[in-house]
Amino acid sequence: MSTPGRFVWYDLMTTDVEGSKAFYSGLLGWTTNDFDMGEAGPYPMIRTGDLDIGGMVAVEAAPGPTSRWVAYVTVDDVDDATARAAAAGGTVRIPPTPIPNVGRFAELADPQGAVISAFVSANPPMPDPAGPPPVGIVCWNELLTTDPAGAVAFYQSVFGWGHGTMDMGPAGLYHLFKRDDKDVAGMMQMPPDAAAPPLWMPYFLVADVDASFATALSLGAMAFVPPRDIPQVGRFAVLGDPTGASFALFKDVKA
């Protein structure tokens, strides 16, 4: 059963909805289906295989990075989680808000500025997905931050996550957030010369990182980290989509 601290949904806040549909369809094979949000207009829902995994929301272009991915994480009570986030030094970007027939959410920013949403479903909890995950699904979530220690304290308070570390040698410590003693997300210290602000970045499962990386570039993506191996873990690459939203491609070493 679903428990607090689980990643369950992803919104792409994008300055070009139609362009984003074409890009991710060409790269990951996603399809979209417009969901009627009434006065808010259509909400394109993202599907990979037979799973709905997120949606797209139009945003206005602004100075600096505008397009971004925002993950939704389950909590027991959105209002309580929002209060805990504020008490821990975070910012409430969107206060607790109902989504008719769906649930209730709040959009939060941690003290370093990375954005994430707290969510409670109005429907019975769904079990964790079973079986091999389909290509195009989010297989990992990673926080890039300027203050790992501060981020650990914040997310422990808001989502109840545990914490561990992994020695990555010359790359330093890799931080792991844990839910029910299982790794749920990762965290890295941002380099001091990073152009982007702290952010949460989704990793998308692909069959071939190098081939998908080349496809992404042909579709207008920006290369941030070319394909490389993580010893005994897998292979990954980091890019920005044509509107600037950061994401990673990943294939497990066991796959």
- pLDDT tens-digit profile of 68-80? 999 999 999 999 9
Compute the distance between CA of residue 142 and CA of residue 175 in angstroms, rounded to an integer: 9
Residue 202's pLDDT is 98
CB 81 within 8 A of CB 128: no
Does the pLDDT at position 171 exceed 80?
no
Read off the pLDDT band of 128 (50, 70, 90). Answer: low
- The span from the CA of 219 to the CA of 100, in Å, is 36
Task: Please state which CATH number belongs to domain 7-121.
Answer: 3.10.180.10
Over range 141-166, report the average pLDDT.
Answer: 96
- 168 has pLDDT over 90: no
Phi-psi sector, 64: left (phi>0), alpha (psi -120 to 50), beta: left
CA distance 239 to 46: 19
pLDDT value, residue 37: 76
pLDDT at position 1, please?
Answer: 39
Reported as a single tens digit per residue, the pLDDT across 11-57 is 999 999 999 999 999 999 999 999 887 777 789 999 998 899 999 99
Structurally, at CATH architecture level, domain 138-252 sits in Roll (3.10)
Number of other residues whose CB lies within 10 A of the CB of residue 18? 12
Q: Summarize pLDDT for 197-251 with one digit per residue, the tens.
A: 999 999 999 999 999 999 999 999 999 999 999 888 899 999 999 999 999 999 9
Triad 18, 22, 25: Cα angle to 5°: 135
Q: How confident is the model at residue 132 (pLDDT cuts 50, 70, 90)?
A: confident
Q: What is the pLDDT of residue 64?
A: 62
DSSP-derived letter for residue 39 is G
Question: Where does 123-208 have alpha helices with state H?
Answer: 148-159
| For the chain, domain boundaries | 7-121, 138-252
Q: What is the pTM of this model?
A: 0.94
Residue-level pLDDT at 146: 95
- Does 7-121 match 138-252 in CATH topology? yes
126-131 mean pLDDT: 67
